[in-house]
């Protein structure tokens, strides 16, 4: 039976064809919305989405869903807790659209400084205003604070350095890169920053990070760019800072972003002249979409042919294992089962297990991570198996 793949968002058609050429059944329905997925994903093995929400009902209603691929970076549109409960893999395509997002962030910096959108709007309305639009600051030598230094933050830093910006980065876990300075506290760096560019994922830790306090550290007239997730900014705090501190803002993401690809939009931000909003297009260059599609196909083919889950995001980072049992054994039917039976009788849960075969296929080594220690009696019972070559048991 052919494996069934539903692609529920826009995906370059030549890559849809590539999957079909691999003898897979591909359903390409780029216009599906969150609620359509509940039925549409019911009978598929693999679901590929971009920003379309994969909610708990879709996951619970699915009969054979095994892998959800986010054709992009952020996985906050997928209910991962629900996927965990059903043992459904979730993967993403990290780094593949970073350059596109970085290019937009740099474009928005220049757009804010030169007020390019306002220039264009006035021109379209038959207004000439060289006098007003000649009042730009220029970016060279200005201080840029990049908040979030993952794949995208790094690409922004490279481009910003080329523009002659003085680059600071803030990352929760890592600081690296030539010519980039660390700052550990927002209260010390935000007051120095002429431009702030946010590149954070939406997580419980980053939700509402940019609140009244952080805006209070910013310079009057600073430029703020957010091409990451709207959740990291408290919208009321942002509006207050725009009105009271003349903060000028460019956003590719905002609260209440429509689910569909076209239609009407409503947001209180539309009233603010100092706020530019683009249509969540950060990742939407052909180059980026091809790179993402290429990666998504690679994930699918690896999964089908070798069972390996590339960029598997919902694999447990820590398990409840405290002991490691390594058993070398003859690679014969029933040997593993008999070892595991000893553990079962002792009511020991195996958290993780890997069995690897030596060249020639005669011997194998099985590594088991155990929740609690195996007793001496259990270890003797395993050792006494004539098909077992050696046993090691250590605390980890």
The catalytic position among 50, 229, 311, 329 is 229
> 112 and 250 in contact (C-beta within 8 Å)?
yes
Q: Is 354 a catalytic residue?
A: no
Instruction: Name the residue number minimizing CB distance to ligand 3PG.
Output: 72
Q: Which residues would be at the binding site for ligand 3PG (CB under 6 A)?
A: 50-51, 72-74, 97, 280, 282-284
Closest approach of ligand 3PG to the CB of residue 250, in Å: 15
Q: Is 257 a catalytic residue?
A: yes
- Roughly what angle, to the nearest 10 degrees, separates helices 376-383 and 335-345? 160
Closest approach of ligand 3PG to the CB of residue 165, in Å: 24
Rounded CA-CA distance 110/228 in Å is: 18
To which residue do tokens 């494996």 refer?
Answer: 3
Q: Which helix or strand (DSSP H or E) is residue 7 part of?
A: strand 4-7
The catalytic position among 25, 257, 294, 351 is 257
Nearer to ligand 3PG, 99 or 165 (CB): 99
Cβ-count burial of 385 within 10 angstroms (0-12 exposed, 13-18 middle, 19+ buried)?
Answer: middle
Cβ-count burial of 320 within 10 angstroms (0-12 exposed, 13-18 middle, 19+ buried)?
Answer: exposed
> 20 and 5 in contact (C-beta within 8 Å)?
no
Nearer to ligand 3PG, 49 or 336 (CB): 49
The catalytic position among 159, 199, 280, 393 is 280
Neighbours of 241 (CB within 10 A): 25
Q: Is 280 a catalytic residue?
A: yes
Nearer to ligand 3PG, 79 or 97 (CB): 97
Nearer to ligand 3PG, 170 or 199 (CB): 199
Closest approach of ligand 3PG to the CB of residue 283, in Å: 3
Closest approach of ligand 3PG to the CB of residue 99, in Å: 12
Neighbours of 366 (CB within 10 A): 20
Nearer to ligand 3PG, 74 or 148 (CB): 74
Integer CA distances (angstroms), 392 to 25, 172, 342, 353, 395, in order? 46, 38, 15, 14, 10
Closest approach of ligand 3PG to the CB of residue 328, in Å: 44
Residues belonging to the active site: 229, 257, 280
């Amino acid at each position: 039976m052919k494996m069934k793949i539903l692609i529920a968002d826009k995906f370059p058609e030549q890559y849809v064809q590539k999957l079909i050429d691999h003898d897979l059944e591909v359903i390409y329905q780029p216009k599906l919305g969150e609620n359509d997925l509940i039925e549409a994903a019911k009978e598929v093995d693999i679901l590929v989405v971009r920003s379309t929400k994969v909610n708990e009902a879709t996951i619970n209603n699915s009969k054979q869903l095994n892998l959800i691929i986010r054709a992009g970076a952020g996985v906050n549109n997928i209910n991962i807790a629900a996927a965990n409960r059903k043992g459904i893999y979730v993967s993403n395509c990290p780094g593949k659209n970073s350059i596109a997002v970085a290019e937009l962030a740099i474009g928005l910096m220049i757009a804010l400084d030169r007020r390019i959108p306002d220039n264009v709007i006035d021109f379209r309305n038959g207004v000439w205003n060289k006098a007003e639009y000649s009042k730009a600051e220029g970016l060279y030598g200005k201080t840029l604070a990049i908040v979030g230094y993952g794949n995208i933050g790094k690409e922004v830093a490279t481009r910003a350095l080329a523009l002659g910006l003085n680059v600071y980065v803030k990352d929760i876990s890592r600081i690296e890169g030539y010519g980039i300075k660390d700052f550990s506290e927002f209260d010390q760096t935000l007051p120095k920053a002429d431009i702030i560019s946010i590149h954070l994922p939406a997580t419980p830790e980053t939700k509402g990070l940019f609140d009244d306090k952080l805006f209070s550290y910013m310079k009057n007239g600073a430029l703020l760019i957010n091409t990451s997730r709207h959740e990291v900014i408290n919208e009321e705090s942002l509006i207050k800072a725009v009105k009271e501190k003349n903060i000028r803002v460019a956003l590719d993401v905002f609260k209440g972003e429509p689910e569909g690809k076209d239609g009407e939009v409503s947001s209180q931000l539309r009233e603010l002249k100092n706020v530019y909003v683009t249509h969540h297009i950060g990742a939407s260059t052909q180059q980026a979409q091809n790179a993402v599609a290429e990666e998504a196909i690679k994930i699918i083919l690896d999964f089908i042919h070798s069972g390996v889950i590339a960029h598997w995001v919902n694999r447990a980072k820590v398990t409840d294992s405290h002991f490691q049992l390594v058993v070398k054994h003859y690679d014969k039917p029933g040997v593993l089962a008999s070892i595991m039976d000893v553990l079962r009788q002792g009511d020991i849960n195996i958290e993780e297990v890997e069995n690897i075969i030596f060249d020639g296929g005669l011997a194998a080594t099985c590594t088991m991570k155990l929740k609690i220690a195996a007793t001496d009696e259990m270890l003797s019972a395993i050792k006494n198996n004539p098909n077992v070559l050696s046993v090691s048991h250590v605390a980890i």
